Every structure is written in structure tokens, then in C-alpha cells.
Structure 1
Amino acid sequence: MSLDVGALLLETVPFARTVGIVFDEVGDGRAVCRLPDREDVRNHVAGPHAGALFTLAETASGAAMLSLLGDELGRAVPLTTGARVEYRKFAKGEVRAEARLLAERKAVAAELDAGGRPEFEVAVELTDGDGVVVSTVAITWTLRPHRR
């Protein structure tokens, strides 16, 4: 797919720009991005705010999803429907997100073809600069067909 998913997300989701998310890799149902260490996104104990961490995870999940399903935007709008977040360790400094789409592209497209509204998960792992997992997030997405 020739779509620059990272640029698209930063253009259409201004909050991702606001917290300073940077894309490193996007493709084949996977995305890697990071949240640089910035004082204005830290919490009261000098780590990245939980909201900033969630934004990083949700943005990475959207990029992973769009890297395989972006060509479906002409007939459906992607929406998050839920999330499970586990904060495992205190995060400090820059945080990296790696997201993986857990659905088969063919199955999602087939459900859309049949008139359905597919739901699927994207798993995201957040790590600190030492590679320690600080959080895991599972984001549930749907593709809602455009109304005619």
C-alpha cells in the first residue's frame, strides 16, 4: 500500500501530534512509534502521563490496522470500540510502542463484503529505553460501513 499511514494519522488525529508521537515503522499489520520524553506530557512523578501512554498505544494500533486495511477506508470508517490496559512498570523517559494486528485481512474484508461490521484486536506493547515492558494494551477496532 502506498499510503503513508504515519503521516495520515498525524494529519487526521491532531492529538497524536500534540503529544509528539513519532512513527518509526509501519507495514504489514505492524507499527512501531514512540513518545519522546517531554516535560509537558509527564505526570506528577515525572513519568509519561497515563493518558499520553494510552494515546501512544491507540495511535500505534491504528497505524498497524491501517497498514493492512487502509484500502477499506472508501467503504468503512475505522473506530475503536474498547481497550484493555495493563500498566506493569513505572515508565520514565522515551517510550516505544509496537503494535500488531491480530486479524486476517481476508476475514475482515469478507465480513465487510457480506454487509457486516467486523471487529478485531490490535495488541500493543509499550517499552522503555531499556526494553522493559511498561504496559500492554489490547485495542478493539471495528470497521463501520459508510451509510448510503
Structure 2
Amino acid sequence: MLASTVPMVATLKLEYVEVTPERAVLRLPDQPEYRNHVGGPHAGAMFTLGESASGAVVLAAFGDTLGRATPLPVRAEVDYRKIARGDLVATAVLGRPAGEVLAELDAGQRPEFPVEVSTVRPDGAETGRMTVVWTLRPNG
């Protein structure tokens, strides 16, 4: 669904490796047109990979609530740890149990919840960490 509704996903040729309600794994293939001055993926491409992975797990966990709430990112923090080169893989993990988040939504609140993302390069070294805080905004 994301590839068809979010054009940037298709532009960067992001690949969905695994998507469950608990975690999502996406791959950013190495593409010369998206490299930075040190030969790795541009920080904007890396951000899009991480944010897209977080969105994939959010949609998998809360996709059945779209009729009553809209998932939206609230804020994000990125920690670039090592030079990224080659294909990158981002793994996003839901930071709170979905049931807790849904209980807050059912109680009339606008819940916020973190999604933790780790990005690694082909040698397994972690190139970045990201926390994206999401909300479920009640519709109407």
C-alpha cells in the first residue's frame, strides 16, 4: 500500500522485506544518484528509509483503525552513527504494545507511541538509529 500511496517510496526503490504488526524491515538499494559527498546514501534518503519503515509497522499494527483514526508522525530524532555505504536495511519496531495504544484511542485520547528504527549496512554495522513518535488522530 505504501509504495502506491507514497511516491517517495517508489522514487527511492525501497523494498519491503518483512512487515508485521510488531516490526517492519525495509531495504534501500545502493543508487549512485542518491549518494552524498562521501559516497554513501544521502541523509535524506536514509531518513526516508527509516521513516518509511516506521510507517509500515504502524500501518500493519493499526491499519484496521483507519476508518476512525489517522496515523501521523509527530516528531523524529535521528542519530547517524557510522558512514553508510552500500545497500541499507532498516528495522522498525513498535515501541508500545498496540493494545495499550488502542485502549487510549478507545478512551477518547489521542495516543502517541514511539517506533524505534535501526539501520545497518552490508557488513552488519549499525549506521543509524531513529525514533519516530506517531499518533493516532481521531477522525472527525
> Structure 2-normalised TM-score?
0.97
Are 1:14 and 2:3 counterparts?
A: no
Q: Match of 1:134?
A: 127
**2:138 maps to what in 1?**
145
How does 1:1-148 map onto structure 2 within 5 Å? Answer: 8-147=1-140
Shift >2 Å, 4+ stretches: none
CA displacement 1:5-48 (0-9 Å, x = unmatched): xxx11111111111111000001310001100001111122110
Q: Which amino acid aligns with 2:117?
A: V
Unaligned 5+ segments in structure 2 are: none
Alignment-mate amino acid for residue 120 of structure 1: F
- Determine helix, strand or coil for the equivalent of 1:117: coil
CA shift at 1:107, angstroms? 1.1
Aligned pairs, how many? 140
Q: Is the 8 A contact 1:77 1:143 kept in 2?
A: yes
- Could you tell me how far apart the structure 2 residues matched to 1:71 and 1:41 are? 34
Aligned CA RMSD, in angstroms, stands at 0.8
What is the rounded CA distance, in whole Å, between the counterparts of 2:137 and 2:39 in structure 1?
39
2:40 partner SS:
coil
Q: Give 5+ residue unaligned stretches, structure 1.
A: 1-7
State the SS of the aligned residue for 1:122: strand
Distance of 1:72 and 1:130 partners within structure 2: 38
Percent identical residues: 51
